[in-house]
Amino acid sequence: MIYEGAGSFDEDTILVDRFVGGDQSAFETLYSRYYTRVFNLARGVLIDPEEAADATQEIFALVYRNLPKFNRQSKFSTWLFRISVNRSIQESRKRRFRNKTLELDQAAEHPAPSQGGPEPDPRVQLAMEMLAPQDRAIITLFYWQELSLQEIADSMDINLNAAKTRLYRARERFRQHFEEEPEL
């Protein structure tokens, strides 16, 4: 199975083998190949881009240390996403009380600096902030990473039905918060 934008299963396995054999450049290839996806996932869970960048570095540091222990029973990308989800949720819980909730007014008055792309919707951001980290993770994987339910189940180490149920509940909770926010 091939993830869009990432290398194939075989290519990843070859790179892992090369890294375990002592080729440092193989890890750099894996890092540059998956950095954006891991960062986007971390950002979906942590919301703050700087915290997400920090968490992404920690995730890859963890992968770097533990890659020799990777048992190859799953795809490298599945293993990587599982680490990313767990670490992001863990970081989100740790930083929950430190995070300053972005008020709707502030979001409207001080929107994120435009980088030429579409503007983020503050209602979506506020609704996401209201969710639990696990809910943010599954929504991010499904809507932003566009993973299938089976891939989500593998990445979260749950079965397919549990993934469906969790996605349904997370989506309903998101909708509830989203519809409570006044339209700008």
Partner 1 sequence: MWAIAENDTVDAVYDFEHRFPKYQQELMRRIKTVSALKAQGKTIPSREIPVFQARPIALDRKPIQWLGYAAVSLAVISTAVLAATSNKPTPAVKPVDVNTQRRKAIPELPIATPSVPIGQATPPIDPAKNPAPKPTNQFKKSDLILEVTKLHSAIQLIAASGEVTVTIAPGLENPDVQVSFTQMTAMEMLTALAKDYAFTPVVDGEKHILILPVKDDSNPQDGNEELN
Cβ at position 158, least distance to partner 1 in Å: 19
Total of chain residues touching partner 1, rule CB under 8 A: 40
Residues 137-176 that bind partner 1 (CB under 8 A): 139-140, 143-144, 168, 171, 174-175
**Tokens matching residue 32:** 């540059």
CA nearest neighbour of 35 among 66, 8, 61, 69: 61
Residues 77-116 that bind partner 1 (CB under 8 A): 90, 115
* Burial classification of residue 84, based on how many CB atoms lie within 10 Å of its CB (0-12 exposed, 13-18 middle, 19 or more buried): buried
Residue number with CB closer to partner 1 (60 or 76): 60
Residue number with CB closer to partner 1 (11 or 58): 58
Chain centre to alpha carbon of residue 25 = 24
d(Cα 18, Cα 29) in Å, to the nearest integer?
11
Q: Out of 13, 86, 125, 134, which residue is the one contacting partner 1 (CB under 8 A)?
A: 125
State the DSSP code for 8: -
| Binding characters for partner 1, 43-72, by CB under 8 A (x = yes) | xx----x---x---xx-xxx-xx-------
Cβ at position 139, least distance to partner 1 in Å: 7
Handedness of CA 124, 128, 131, 134 (dihedral sign): positive
d(Cα 57, Cα 130) in Å, to the nearest integer?
25
**Tokens matching residue 17:** 């083998």
Residue number with CB closer to partner 1 (73 or 126): 126
**Tokens matching residue 21:** 């054999």
| Residues of this chain that bind partner 1 (CB under 8 A) | 27-28, 31-32, 35-36, 39-40, 43-44, 49, 53, 57-58, 60-62, 64-65, 90, 115, 117-121, 123-125, 128, 139-140, 143-144, 168, 171, 174-175, 178-179
